[in-house]
Structure 1
Amino acid sequence: MGIGATAGVAAIGGIAVNAQASGESGSTSADALVFDKDAYTELTTTITTDAGDKTVKYHFYKATTYVTDPVDEKYQSLIVSVPVEIDGKTVDATHAPILFANSVGGYMPSSVADATGVGAAGMTGIPGGAGGGAPSASTSASASASSTASAAASASAPASTGTGEVASGGNAQVNAQGGMVSNAKLALAAGYVVVEPGARGRTLTDADGTYYGTAPAAIVDLKAAVRYVRFNKGRIPGNTDRIVSSGTSAGGALSALLGASGDSPLYDKYLKELGAADASDSIFASGDWCPITDLEHADMAYEWNWGGNKLSSGSLVDRTVSKDLSTAFADYQASLKIRAKGFGALTARNLDDYLLETHLQPSATTYLKSLSDADRSTYLASNTFITWSGGRATFTWADFLTHVGARKKDTPAFDAFDLSAGENNEFGTGTTQARHFTLYSLRHESGSSARLDSDLPEKLHLMNPMPFIRQHNPGRSKHWWIRVGTKDSDTSLSVVANLAASLEQLGDDVNALYYWDEGHGSNIDAADFITWIGKVTGYTK
């Protein structure tokens, strides 16, 4: 039986969770995964949207375990919210799209066990509150969110997110005014069904000190949750063929991975061990904010992008290490074989120009056009590196890097030599808290003959959307919403560029945008995302 599992109904955080004990054979009937459509509480909430406040009456389904043989029910459960009335008007969500909104931050555990309403899911282990992997601020153009707490970038601390995030609650992100925005609540206010899954995370250990939430636990759990939703077609309200995922930071990486790896048989053995439903785990569309992904190449990409930028202390990072990694990035970038119109093959030599012309200059242009004449003049006077001509902003890559300023992470940014990064913990195993997952860092510490542990290549593959895209995975999503701030140095800006360009090369529908002067966790066009969901799913015309 899984950790904390009990026969029948388990009580988690004071909330009854539907869970079945495993039988003597180690498996249970699929009946254990049947969603009880009558087991809801009717709630009413007010949600602030761009169109004004909306009073939403909805059916809330408390935490329900989504596998028959959970390792830990506290994390392997989900909640469902179904709108039935908006501003006094009856809503039929039978055929509405389903927003599958994860709250993972820093590859930490995420639980819905104590959730009492929509948008209440969060990351656990953070003092003072739950977490969604995005910075917090006072409520502005969105529904209110829970209390917040800072998270250190050290895997040795249980409260760490490891990717530099500040944790906040309920799928919350930050809008342009510094207020909180919750995709889950905005989706409910639009008449969509909202599913919020929990998932195991890297810091979880059992009584023997064994880590049971490290890679690939989080993506396996989210896939199991998708299978549960699709298995319950006709019982869970909403169109189970129109599931749209969303996530931020590590949650954005997992959302992208869900979209890229749909129905891949590589996860089958892990899903079978949990007793996941016999159903598809593909999703229709993927919404990904500042995804912390492609981890085995992230150190290289980071130095290619931010290698010349100083730390906030004003000091430069180790120049030899930075140069080694930046040089290695060239081979990796070439291996992707991404081609873009007007640029040909995207290489380390032209990727900066591609970023400038495709994302960064258009982002600055959009921002500057949104300002009044007086505000635009003030901004340009303070940022003389920008040439504003004919209603278009231009600047050089070097000047852009200077404008961004301090880099957030030392080198190596992800596979730290001292194993202190959260990602080192993400690839821990057994009673080993943290491991090196790149040859560069491993050999720097252990010598040139050192080899990665034999299980790591598979786990790295299972945690990275790029191999599935390169292999043209037929079960992948065909619709993508991808966002990142131009001042987000939590990872390289090339990560989002390569993700978007590789999908465009396959002919997928990709809506990718860089938010000018925004940092990690920003979501300044949330209303547009909600509208996009309706459009791509065919729910609204």
Structure 2
Amino acid sequence: MKYDLEFNPDRYRVETAETEGKRLVYRAYEDLVYVKRPSAPEYQKMNIYVPEAYWEGDSIGAYDRNTAPVFLANTVGGYMPGKPEKPGNNHLGRTNTLFQALLHGYVAVSVGARGRGLTGEDGSFIGCAPACIVDLKAAVRYLKYNRDRICGSMSHIISNGTSAGGALSALLGVTGNHPDYESFLEEAGAACAEDDIFAASCYCPITNLEHGDMAYEWEFNGYDNYQRMHGIRDEKTGERKMVPLTGIQSAEQRKMSDELKILFPAYVNGLHLKDEKGNCLKLEEDGNGSFKEYVKARVMESIQKAMEEGTDFSGFPWITVRKGKAVDVDFEQYVAYRTRMKTTPAFDEVALTTPENELFGNKTTASRHFTRFSLEHSKAGGTMAEEGQIRRMNPMNYIGDKTCDTAPYFRIRHGASDRDTSLAVSALLAAALREQGIQVDYHLPWGLPHAGDYDLPELFSWIDGICRD
């Protein structure tokens, strides 16, 4: 079936949502397929929500129907397929981000996308990389193609996502209009428009996957006890529940950890990055160096901010505080405090069992390797993903590429207790963007695990600020 990409402004419902004592009236434009030839139309669609006040000629804060920023939220987690959402309560019964964005005066867009494990009618895998980022780009093109028919400022599209969705938000922000994606967009029948955006909000981005294993071991090497939550199915009820899983790495995993840690300094040094003062960010062969101090400084900033907000650090002997200022932190003790979550390798598993292995499959192969290291250590007879497929999923490969129209603003949040990926991953992303003159608001909120959308007032304040600028 071929879909029409012209937005119909008369096809809407006026809906009301109430939560936490707040009432919201909005226009709902739902189930909008954003490509002409979708392979999975139940995912390749979006919902657009506009405050009804704008149709009554009113303003919300500094915004009206023409100037309101477009808050583009993806629903991708674990690189799985995601469907569009509605304003209201989330799965925890709390007010969701779409509701809050509308209440603040934004045009709220929830966009779905294909993801790993998704199969077509012929049984082929249709959600492998780069399907998810291609879909987000197609959604942006749909919005810009219909800019005169949809409320809001299409010059101020701000993407938002968490985890794999945060990685895609970063990738969307970096790769605007890059020709690497053009053939995939043409195949799907994307609108003839641009796909660059104004800003990217990235919560705990699981990105830079081909270097994620070495970054993880640079941080967690030597800490072999792991603990994480593990999903199992209850034999009596059939319901899936999360239970703690603990263990210790095998001798073989410890050996791979040692080998991967050694590889990380060469990667960092090859980036030739500098900090805000112009100092080179490097690592010695043992993993120490100015880049480690750079990450440590970000941790100390996190501690300082938490102290000023009332957190008591008297029970943390590895944090040195003098006269109300965090002056030092024992980085190794900090890592031990966080604990290891993933076994080695963390992302490109030698048995091809991770979500990322599935992300880099192809139409006929469910899972593949995406690092030379894991291919050489493969226990599943795995094959290697193509270089182009791997390249298209990493924003680091496009930062500084003059072919891209990169967003001028990024906001990156990586919880200081997050163990799903190394802190080095977000630190490198932030440093690389800043070196290109891009404004980056980067912080490691103390005590927060792998999560997102936990500081919406601050996020919205940031959006309002960059839109005023």
TM-score normalised to structure 2 length: 0.89
Aligned to 1:279: 193
Partner Cα distance (2:379, 2:316) in 1: 46
Q: Quote the residue 1:511 is aligned against.
A: 441
Once residues 316 and 419 of structure 1 are traced to their aligned partners in structure 2, the CA distance between those partners, rounded to angstroms, is: 17
Aligned in 2, Cα 1:334/1:470: closer, same or farther, shift over 3 Å?
farther
**Matched residue, 1:135:** none
How many angstroms apart in 2 are the aligned matches of 1:362 and 1:351?
15
Task: Select which of 71, 84, 93 maps to 2:65.
Answer: 93
Q: Who is 2:138 aligned against?
A: 224
Separation of aligned partners in 1, 2:77 and 2:106: 24
Q: Distance in 1 between matches of 2:382 and 2:82?
A: 32
Structure 2 equivalent of residue 124 of structure 1: none
Which consecutive unaligned segments of at least 5 residues does structure 2 have?
Answer: 228-245, 284-288
Counterpart position of 1:300: 214
Residue correspondences, number: 437
1:56 lines up with 2:24 in the alignment: yes
Q: Which residue of 2 aligns with 1:311?
A: 226
The answer to whether 1:479 aligns with 2:413 is no
Q: Of the candidates 447, 455, 462, which is equivalent to residue 525 of structure 1?
A: 455
- Pair 1:66-2:1 in alignment: no
Match of 2:307 in 1: 368
Match of 2:166?
252
Give the Cα–Cα distance (whole angstroms) in 2 for the partners of residues 493 and 216 of structure 1: 25
- Change beyond 3 A, Cα 1:451–1:470: farther
Q: Deviations over 1:85-130 (max 9, x none)?
A: 39x9934322210001001000100113xx5x33xxxxxxxxxxxx
Provide the residue aligned with 2:374 in structure 1: 441
Return the alpha-carbon distance in structure 1 between the equivalents of residues 89 and 436 of structure 2: 39
Q: Take 1:46 and 1:515, find their aligned partners in 2: how far apart are those partners?
A: 30
Partner of 1:424: 357
What secondary structure does 1:499 align onto?
helix
Query: Secondary structure, in 3 states, of the residue corresponding to 1:221?
Result: helix
- Residue 472 of structure 1: CA displacement? 4.6
**Secondary structure, counterpart of 2:153 in structure 1:** coil
Measured in 2, the distance between the counterparts of 1:522 and 1:280 equals: 28
Q: 2: distance between equivalents of 1:181 and 1:347?
A: 43
1:23-66 deviations in Å (ceiling 9; x for gaps): xxxxxxxxx21101111100112355xxxx54221100111110
Q: Distance in 1 between matches of 2:379 and 2:269?
A: 28
Find the aligned partners of 2:408 and 2:139 in 1 and give their Cα distance.
Answer: 20
Kept in 1: contact 2:350–2:379 (CA 8 A): no
Structure 1 residues 451 and 315: CA distance shift in structure 2, 3 A:
closer
Pairwise CA RMSD? 2.1
Amino acid in structure 2 at the alignment position of 1:83: P
TM-score after normalising by structure 1: 0.77
| Aligned equivalents of 1:364, 1:316: Cα separation in 2 | 30
Report matched runs for 1:10-21 at 5 Å: 20=3
Among residues 335, 346, 350, which one is paired with 2:281 in the alignment?
Answer: 346
Identity percentage of aligned residues: 37
Q: Distance in 2 between matches of 1:83 and 1:102?
A: 20
Within-5 A mapping of 1:146-185: 146=91, 180=94, 182-185=96-99
**Which amino acid letter does the alignment assign opposite residue 438 of structure 1?**
T
Partner of 2:431: 501
Q: Residues 253 and 288 of structure 1 are in contact (CA less than 8 Å); yes or no, is this contact kept in structure 2? A: yes
Residues 66 and 152, structure 2, Cα contact 8 Å, conserved in 1? yes
Show CA shifts across 1:176-201 (max 9, x none): xxx85633222111111011111011
CA 1:40 to 1:207, structure 2 compared with 1: closer, same or farther past 3 Å?
closer
- 2:360 and 2:370 in contact (8 A); partners too: yes
What residue identity is the alignment partner of 2:217?
E
**Residue 452 of structure 1, CA deviation:** 5.9
* Whole-angstrom distance in 2 between the partners of 1:184 and 1:335: 40
| Offset from partner CA, 1:110-153 (integer Å, 9 cap, x none) | 113xx5x33xxxxxxxxxxxxxxxxxxxxxxxx62136xxxxxx
Residues 442-474 of structure 1: per-residue CA shift (max 9 Å, x gap): 111279xx9964x62101111110011042554
